[in-house]
Structure 1
Amino acid sequence: MAGWKLVGGDKGLEPGAVVRPDERLAWPKTIGIGAQHVVAMFGATFVFPLLMGLDANLAIMMSGVCTILFLLIVKGKIPSYLGTSASFVGAVAAIRASGGTSAGVTGAILVAGVVLALVGLLVHFVGATALRTVLPPVVSGAVVMLIGFNLAPVVGGTYWPQDPGVAILTMLFTIVAAVGFRGFFSRIAIFLALIFGYVLSWVLDRTAGQIVFPTGAGDTAPHFRVDLDGVAGADWFGLPTFSAPEFHLNFILLALPGVIALIAENTGHVRAVAEMTGDDLDPYMGRALFGDGFGTALASAVGGSPTTTYAENIGVMAATRVYSTAAYYVAAAVAILLGLVPKFGAIVNATPGGVLGGITVVLYGMIGLLGAKIWRENGVDFGNPINLVPIAAGIIIGVGNVTWQIGSEFSLSGIALGSIVAIGGYHLARVIAPKNLREPLSDGRVYEGGTALSAGSVRDPATDGTREDQR
């Protein structure tokens, strides 16, 4: 577009030079950077639709459409790619376990997208500090944690049993790739693990023969790990399959906690970009949340997957120091074109269950531990019962998939109930707690029972005094 200022020219950039969001390199180099962004977002953007039982081709295409809309909404100030969000995977598993169809899934996520967009509007007019008041790090970290750990039964009960041998080898490859590979390749470890597991399964089919482990549908008849029958019949070019959403209140309540995870994710990513570019992006925080919410609602309205800003692409910017939004427009255009290749989608949909088992056992755990990362980075004090008690209850309810049956046709369980307890319980605790628990001292000490405890000390119930914590 004509709005970007060309930098570098024929001489190239000086070592360490930065390309700002409103600048671009020569088009061949910009296309090359855009291709890196495609590779970075690609793995997760089609893995997560697979895990949610949604159309990967449509997810890829809509990620490109939504990225372009996001860049327009933030006026090109926040370079970011909107790929498929993992925040709703747990809710989708719960919806499908309750008999929900893909239409019910996308309807629930669409409402969550609208709620996120409304939060973005509110933040835009009220200010970004309001987010921290309603969803402090102790709460947002807890919701992210229970979203990830609630998925453990999906790994153990659905994916892993389909081929334990391939699952464990894929898991080991994921660990090796994430830790042992260097630079950009370590950032796409999940994508590389999926390729590894896919190829391994294909080779085993031709050397070891068929397996009798249960399929995702529970069928134990002998079968090959990789079924490519659907690939041969798929067209090379064509539109993905669009579908209309359906709305059910109980499914919507399961999806709404994902909004909290998206808020935490988006704010973290925007601040990371602000730190890299040196720009004050707080005035655009509301626009970013609105843009992601609008993208999630739009993608779900046609049967696609929810969206979120992608850390993978932020990593590409950190490595290249090229923050040009022109590269993101290139990546978005490539994604739209990929979505128009049904044969590609058929190959993706043939991914063996054992491969997904090896990936998800790492991926779901990582999602959960992001909650702990939020706590650590924000110095959450679990010595304070305001933080400890309600959050502990919410996490156990979410991870244990505890159910509260309300009447004969409605219930709250798992992620939804756990999030409600964590959020509502925290704010209730703050209302009823004494002032000395609600207001830490300026030097980081906290009052307990009228006594000021130094950092790292805890009350010893045996002596009613204090002792230094030796942990």
Structure 2
Amino acid sequence: MSTPGKSSAFHWKIHGDGRTIVPGSVVSPQERLSWPRTAGIGAQHVVAMFGATFLVPLLTGFPPATTLLFSGIGTMLFLVITAGRVPSYLGSSFAFIAPIGAAVNQHGIGGALGGLVMAGAVLFLAGLVVHKAGAHWIQAVMPPVVTGAIVALIGLNLAPAARQNFEQGAVTGLVTVAAILLATVLFRGLLGRLSILVGVLAGYAAAVLRGEVDFSAIADAAWVGLPPFQLPSFHLSVVGLFVPVVLVLVAENIGHVKSVAAMTGQNLDPYAGRALMADGLATVLAGSGGGSGTTTYAENIGVMAASKVYSTAAYWVAAIVAVLLSLFPKFGALIATVPPGVLGGAGVVLYGMIGVLGVRIWVQNRVNFGNPINLAVAGVSLVVAIANFTWAAGELRFEGIALGTAAALLIYHGMNLIARWRGTEPLDAAEDEGVRPSKLG
């Protein structure tokens, strides 16, 4: 196991001979291989993050090139703030898709950008608290049953959006879904992990053959230039849409830090707060100029696990490549030609996967649904989000995700508080081993 060395975002020790990985070890965040090999790993990170990063702006109507630019800049900011100790790419967060859609309907893209800025600021403050007080309070506020419910309800709340896009090109959408599923089981290694990107490319090819793609915008776009920027506008009514997403981003970031720590053998807990603050600042920056909110990317963990290279130098390469690609308007125009049918097909798979990721959190943490409190937390919050319950209070407007998140938190802590007061805490079902009825029946 490697041990933490001197923290620096710009200094890496050469691993071994710079060409091969020492048997039984990994290339730690503070190490690197030779620059050509590091550049190759960085290119793999670009491919790994690309599919998800460009899908979010396409699904929300944001300029893809602008999102790509801010994802690259945000990644650089993340690497600097975490002192080069936490290897991660900050790509577009799917958790923001539903809030952005609702905010755009109310106040246009500017209003959605304002929501991103506010969410980023709250995430930064949460990171500051974690940096000073540690991450233990997160587990107390958001135990696995709550975290899983919030992740699941965000994905399932998006189901109507997937259907709307799918119906605009059902055949193309079906090809996209089939290609994603087949790529998952046909290919191994990096290509298998990029099944979403492979499926989108297959769906796009089908759309071209069916005459569903308009290439006129590509001819009109310049070869070199800055992507379009837009300033945010701030409205109190979008607070309830965006702030609940912060809870998901906190869980994602903490999970990313712990995963990398486990794979590298380093203690990265002191950097968890920095990671949250960096992601918060990156989201504020993106929202201030027209990009999508960011999060640490699990897609890139797969590249690191396969290559055994956790060097942050590779992420600098990926970030620089992303920024350079964003400066070619024709490239951004090409991405923007992806038709609704392809987006609908990708959405069917992606949104469903997000929902099931919440279930995976329950399974991995062995959440006991023999406990009626846990059952109520999951059941009520999911129905509220899937049905998209709405509540308006003055200028504030709360929709399914916000209300579902609030329901999960209030039901869990409220029911437990009352049960402790009354002495009616449900007894664990002990995973069906010697099952005993709970005090609540």
TM-score (norm 2): 0.93
Which residue does the alignment assign to 1:125? 132
CA distance in 2, matches of 1:47, 1:359: 9
Aligned pairs (5 A) from 1:312-327? 312-327=299-314
CA distance in 2, matches of 1:10, 1:371: 40
CA distance in 1, matches of 2:41, 2:79: 17
The yes-or-no answer on 1:172 pairing with 2:162 is no
Q: Is the 8 A contact 2:113 2:232 kept in 1?
A: yes
> Deviations along 1:8-35, whole A, 9 cap, x unmatched?
4376334454211111111111111111
CA distance in 2, matches of 1:25, 1:313: 18
Q: Is the 8 A contact 2:19 2:37 kept in 1?
A: no
> Deviations along 1:40-95, whole A, 9 cap, x unmatched?
11111111111111111011111111111101111111111111111111112222
CA distance in 1, matches of 2:205, 2:103: 32
The yes-or-no answer on 1:370 pairing with 2:357 is yes
SS state at 1:101 partner = helix
Give the drift of 1:271.
0.9
CA distance in 1, matches of 2:329, 2:18: 40
Range 141-150 or range 195-204, more displaced: 195-204
Change (3 A) 1:351 1:267: same
The yes-or-no answer on 1:106 pairing with 2:113 is yes
CA distance in 2, matches of 1:261, 1:356: 23
CA distance in 2, matches of 1:439, 1:63: 45
SS state at 2:295 partner = strand
Structure 1 stretches of 5 or more lacking a match? Answer: 206-224, 447-452, 466-471
Change (3 A) 1:235 1:373: same
CA distance in 2, matches of 1:458, 1:366: 34
Of 288, 311, 317 in structure 2, the residue corresponding to residue 301 of structure 1 is 288
Which residue does the alignment assign to 1:202? 208
Which residue does the alignment assign to 1:419? 405
Which residue does the alignment assign to 2:3? none
Q: Is the 8 A contact 1:383 1:458 kept in 2?
A: no
CA distance in 2, matches of 1:10, 1:143: 43
Of 24, 35, 39 in structure 2, the residue corresponding to residue 27 of structure 1 is 35
* Paired AA for residue 348 in structure 1: I
RMSD of the TM alignment (CA)? 2.1
CA distance in 1, matches of 2:19, 2:385: 56
Aligned pairs (5 A) from 1:156-195? 156=163, 158-195=164-201
Give the drift of 1:314.
0.8
Give the drift of 1:294.
1.1
* Paired AA for residue 249 in structure 1: L
> Identity, % of aligned pairs?
48
Change (3 A) 1:370 1:454: closer
Give the drift of 1:455.
3.7
Which residue does the alignment assign to 1:78? 86
Which residue does the alignment assign to 1:227? 214
> Deviations along 1:278-318, whole A, 9 cap, x unmatched?
01111111111111111111111111111110111111000
SS state at 1:83 partner = strand
> Deviations along 1:112-138, whole A, 9 cap, x unmatched?
111011000001111111111111111
Range 263-272 or range 344-353, more displaced: 263-272
Which residue does the alignment assign to 2:416? 430
> Deviations along 1:310-354, whole A, 9 cap, x unmatched?
111111000000111111101110001011011111011110111
CA distance in 2, matches of 1:70, 1:438: 43
Which residue does the alignment assign to 1:285? 272
CA distance in 2, matches of 1:413, 1:341: 38
CA distance in 2, matches of 1:141, 1:2: 37
Which residue does the alignment assign to 1:60? 68
- Tell me how many residue pairs correspond in the alignment: 432
The yes-or-no answer on 1:144 pairing with 2:147 is no
CA distance in 2, matches of 1:458, 1:174: 44
Aligned pairs (5 A) from 1:392-471? 392-407=379-394, 410-434=396-420, 438=425, 455=433, 457=435, 459=437
Give the drift of 1:2.
6.1
* Paired AA for residue 57 in structure 1: A
CA distance in 2, matches of 1:379, 1:192: 33
CA distance in 1, matches of 2:51, 2:186: 19
Give the drift of 1:445.
5.5
CA distance in 1, matches of 2:176, 2:333: 21
Greater helix content: 2
CA distance in 1, matches of 2:367, 2:433: 12
Change (3 A) 1:100 1:459: same
> Deviations along 1:423-470, whole A, 9 cap, x unmatched?
122111121113766586xxx657xxxxxx964736499xx99xxxxx
Change (3 A) 1:301 1:200: same
Range 251-260 or range 32-41, more displaced: 251-260
Change (3 A) 1:454 1:50: closer
Of 225, 236, 246 in structure 2, the residue corresponding to residue 249 of structure 1 is 236
Q: Is the 8 A contact 1:384 1:437 kept in 2?
A: no
The yes-or-no answer on 1:274 pairing with 2:261 is yes
SS state at 1:411 partner = strand
Change (3 A) 1:280 1:163: same
CA distance in 1, matches of 2:185, 2:98: 26
Q: Is the 8 A contact 2:175 2:202 kept in 1?
A: no
Larger radius of gyration: 1
SS state at 1:272 partner = helix
Which residue does the alignment assign to 1:388? 375
Change (3 A) 1:4 1:161: same
Which residue does the alignment assign to 1:450? none
CA distance in 2, matches of 1:25, 1:438: 55
Which residue does the alignment assign to 1:352? 339
Q: Is the 8 A contact 1:231 1:343 kept in 2?
A: yes
